[in-house]
Amino acid sequence: MLTAKAIMNTHVISVPADEDIYEAIRIMVLNNITGLPVLHEDGSLAGIVTEKNALRLLCHPEETPGAVSDYMTTDVTSFNPNDSLSDIAACFMTHCFRRVPIVEEGKLVGIVSTKDIIRHIADIKNEDELLNADSLLEIMY
């Protein structure tokens, strides 16, 4: 069984809950990412802030911009490093989000995105093609 640990990104860019929402948006833009885990001071997961959350700035211009905690989603689906990729993929197919935090002992240890899983599927396909090409060469010679 392939697990989240095998493909998760462990270099996760995150923000504290009291970070300014405009700074979080700047971080997303500069790093070409669509969401950021939001952490409590102890490193535990407080929520996630995404591009969709930030759209409130346009949809509700009467609101005074503030901290990430005012915009983030707090009901976050997360997984453990030993959870299967098929379970994570099923979660993506059922819900409208593109990334899930990977949490161990209450602390953020990684993140898996739909892009990570798609990249893994492509890698498997390429490996299969290489194995088939090697087998064909063995048969021919």
C-alpha span between 32 and 65 (Å, rounded): 22
pLDDT at site 137: 39
pLDDT at site 101: 97
C-alpha span between 46 and 76 (Å, rounded): 9
By CB neighbour count within 10 A (0-12 exposed, 13-18 middle, 19+ buried), where does 82 fall? exposed
Q: Domain containing 125 — which CATH number?
A: 3.10.580.10
pLDDT at site 56: 83
pLDDT at site 97: 87
Domain that holds residue 14: 4-140
Q: Tell me the CA distances in angstroms from 77 to 73, 80, 92, 123, 132, one per residue in order.
A: 10, 11, 10, 26, 38
Place of tokens 């798609």: 118
By CB neighbour count within 10 A (0-12 exposed, 13-18 middle, 19+ buried), where does 27 fall? middle
* Long-range contacts of the stretch 25-31 (C-beta < 8 A, 24+): 25/54, 28/54
pLDDT at site 129: 55
Sequence length of the chain is 141
pLDDT at site 135: 45
Strand pairing category for 45-50 and 107-113: unpaired
pLDDT at site 128: 61
Number of domains in the chain: 1
Q: How does pLDDT run along the chain (141 residues), one tens digit per residue?
A: 889 999 999 999 999 999 999 999 999 999 999 999 999 999 999 999 999 998 888 776 777 788 999 999 999 999 999 999 999 999 999 998 889 999 999 899 999 999 999 998 888 776 665 445 444 334 434
